[in-house]
Structure 1
Amino acid sequence: MNRPLRARDLGFACGNISAGTCNSIADVPGVRVGHRTLIDGDLRTGVTAIVPHGGNLYREKPVAAVHVLNGFGKSAGLVQVEELGTLETPIVLTNTLSVGTCCTALVRHAIAQNPDIGRETATVNPVVFECNDGYLNDIQALAITEADAYAALEAASSQFAIGSVGAGCGMSTFGFKGGIGTSSRRLDLDGQHYHLGVLVLSNFGRPGDLRLPDGRIVSPSSVLDGTVTEKGSIIIIAATDIPLSDRQIKRVIRRSGVGLARLGSFWGHGSGDIALGFTTANILSHDEKATLVGLQILNEDRIDLLFEAMADATQEAVLDALVAAGSMTGRSGHHRPGLFDILKSLSPEA
């Protein structure tokens, strides 16, 4: 497989903190990502799965938090993450009308590993996020199946594709083709290397509002009349191996909004902009017998470094999706140009 074009190939590095080795959410040890992509006729859709660690997530729950920038969305599982501060399934991304199907797949996946769910022990909280790919995809076809969700889970790897793949297949961003993007930052704390990685499902932004790191404002059309409304969605998943509490994770993932604002977004009325973060360094056991348990957390006098990393990695992950996605024609001949194609037309040397 040829290496995909990435944001840094065009000089779109964001911030001053060094990226991880792969500049990916999978720079956090144990984190894996898998896709299932459906392209057939008018279908331009798919499923993306993020697996936080290689163990049994129901029994070994990563500490987690969620933050809603603008809540025009139909995601599932957020209430329990907000209340309990843990994850107990992989995170699945898909299109708006396929959330229920993917929830059922995650429940079956958890029960297969834990037959006591709902009988001898508690039920399970599947976490599924969505964006509306209905411009390029025949979303009414309800094409996503449980088998597609399983396939994304089975495909999960530390090496994964970006751009128009998985849940990102039919997504749009600032009027360009959007999709899956990722970026990471390496953070040195007390003489040890840690990482904060971000993966986005990018499907937001008003055409004409995109601002590149070099200051250019680019549009998929020659007319910037400001009449198109800001709508769409972006899902931001952050992973780290730094030990944090769920409250600290929430503080960090709020800074994803800084990265979106740098790109030109103002989180419009019709946009569902949601961030979820987790740490692999603090795991809570489902079968814990002790009354009191200990967690290591970050000294908050050092948390600004994570705030900066979150803002920079979110901004770059969106640019990664835009650069990698390429142009696409989908349902009823609807078309989204790729950012790289537009930049080439503006500057043949790009």
Structure 2
Amino acid sequence: MKIGILGGGQLGRMFIQEALKYDDDFYVLDPNPDCSCANISHFTQGNFNDYDDVLAFGKDKDVVTVEIEHVNVEALAELENRGVKVIPNSKIIKIIQQKILQKEFYQFNQIPSPEFEIIWNADEKVIFPLPLVQKLNTGGYDGRGVQILKEEGDYEKFWKEPSVLEQLVDIDKELSVIVAKNENGETKTFPVTEMVADPKLNLLDFNICPADISVETQIQIDEIAQQFLDNANSPGLFAIELFLDKKGKVWVNETAPRLHNSGHQSQEGNANSQFEQFYRVLKNLPLADTTAVGFSGMLNLVGEENYLGKVKYQGLEEVLKLPKTYVHLYGKTETKPGRKMGHINVLADSREELMEKLIQVKSLVKVVAE
């Protein structure tokens, strides 16, 4: 098959790396000729937000997919009209790429998500009391486009663009579950992972699997995952990010219609990875076993503050000496503060051992510039 991917970042790179063991051709559309996928695919330089670029790229492919949701959905809909398979379909991508539509989707389908208010322009009066979360309707990614307003003075930084305002959840844990559905309607769910964020960068720092949750919490998550798949009405692989509040209630934060940072530990930590699963979804093959093989975790390698330029990884040789520790670099030659440059997966026999190893790895390695 000729598999086309809109976006050439690290998610596409790791997907292609996994899928190269099969017999298919992989095509990538990205504006950056030095993107992570450029040297391991049939690469086309172009704008995945441009109607004509997407249409020209996708018209001769057997299936077109995304590794970033901010793409031209009108072009994807036209490709569908022309008989090109688009996974996930253009309708659910359009819903997910706009926070307002996404929240209305949860509300309409009775999927638990924090109460919200929609703001279209700067003149509208905010009804919700502080503290609240503001999410820009479009363009948010990797923590950008989201801010918390806690006190009256914070209104000075209030964004004037169309936004969703959410009541702030009293969070006990941030969780994620990755679900998959093929065209035959078969579904599989990965074990729930627990996310620990870097409060300064608002990026994922550690990811831990399995999450330390109760049976009651697992039941809520299973119901949410099934509700989402039933109502999304599309094959695909989706990451559902969740909040567990301090009263034991699970809420959907947001959903990604693609591979996700919170599933990276599945590369070594599960019987099959999210990347293998995604390949099977695109090919409509039987879905893979997702069983966790033990305790696993992931640490993001992120560009250090005050370093800009050609990347250099300090301490990587020390990390490579550690048992059950796996380095994944993204092929990015230039680093900048907060940029995701790679990740390291760790396996352990207990949660305590896993946390110790993750903290040790974090202390050993730094992403700087030459």
Structure having greater relative contact order (Cα 8 Å, sep ≥ 6): 1
Q: TM-score normalised by the shorter chain: which range applies?
A: under 0.3
Task: Work out which of the two has the higher radius of gyration on C-alpha atoms and give 1 or 2.
Answer: 2
TM-score, structure 2 as length reference:
0.26
